[in-house]
Amino acid sequence: MSALLDVLLGTVLPRVLVITALIAAGVGLANLLVEYGVVQAIARGARYLTGPANLPDEVGAAVLTNTVSVTAGYGMLAEFRDRGVLDDRATLVAVVMNTFFGFVQHLLTYYLPVLLPILGLRVGLLYVGTRALIALCITLTGVLAGALVLTDRNVDPGAIEAEVPDRDRTTGDRFRRAGERTLKKVREIVPRLVVIYTAVVLALEFTDLEGTTAAAEPLTSLFGLPGAAVPVILVFVADTTSGAIVLAPLVGESFTARQAVIAMLLGGILSFSVSTLKRSIPFQYGIWGAEFGTKVILVNTALQVVFLSLALAVFLQLP
């Protein structure tokens, strides 16, 4: 019982509170931008991205928000979907286009200040640069998909424009309307977020990470990696930062820079089973619900695995 309380109070509660705050901020920002007509102003600067994808200019504001907060960006997209600005197909395209801008946020808050110093300049730049290129390719894939599969039937920009208030509305009215919509959305998300995240965290307490990544050893032999790659990949699957800490002192002794990046890319591919359970399901189900959240997870995971695998194939060809 004590261990259960420790997990609930030490892990579940803080994480749920943080996600709830970020979702509320994102949805609230979207509603305020709509109330003041700022969405249209921001969107004009992003039309070069959304235009080729056949998405409304307003979606650009949500995509660009990912550079500040991925959760807030997703919250804005969820609001646009709920209002009928985007149907499910258009929302999936917008989610895919989010990828590079979400990476930029992680680049500034994690990759550059944390991972790069751990891995060192050469390996760090190789790995971070590869992940940046993968994220950019996924975003461009989203733009191409939008150009190919989206039409006017998939979007309705007027769903936002019709609700932009006139100039006579007071600041208090605008904040009150935005607050009411935000509160309604948060009330929809938080209960399922709590239930799903609690279930996931408790399930992970009984998950054998070594069993989950049992495929790592034959894969390391297949890709010509040293035996030391097995524990590195196992740790990397569980936690990226810890994996990098384990790997860093082995570069130059057991690993070349190329082998180090290959090991991390393999760890990234194998880690999707854990990261999907630990992060994607609670987050995406909390934002979208189970049905559409599953579609988002499948699309995101498939694209990440495909482009990680392509990057891996390129590194295997390098001398």
CA 300 → CA 2, 62, 105, 187, distances in Å?
A: 37, 17, 17, 26
List C-alpha distances in Å: 241 to 18, 32, 64, 248, 307: 21, 37, 27, 11, 21
CB 50 within 8 A of CB 150: no
Cβ–Cβ contacts within 10 Å for residue 279, how many?
13
Query: In this predicted model, what pLDDT tens digit does every residue of 280-318 receive, in sequence order?
Result: 888 888 888 889 999 999 999 999 999 999 999 999 888
pTM, two decimals, is 0.72
Distance CA 241, CA 243 (A): 5
Distance CA 22, CA 98 (A): 17
Say whether pLDDT at 1 is over 90.
Answer: no
pLDDT of residue 165 exceeding 60: no
Distance separating alpha carbons of residues 292 and 306, to the nearest angstrom: 21
First to last CA, the chain: 55
3-state DSSP assignment of residue 230: helix
pLDDT digits (tens, 9 = 90+) for 108-144: 778 887 788 888 889 999 999 999 999 999 999 999 9
- The string of pLDDT tens digits covering residues 223-277 is 888 877 887 887 787 778 778 888 888 888 788 999 999 999 988 888 776 677 6
Residue ranges per domain, the chain?
2-317
Nearest by Cα to 182 from 61, 26, 69? 26
CA distance 80 to 87: 9
> Would you state the structure tokens that stand for residue 52, as one six-digit string?
């080729």
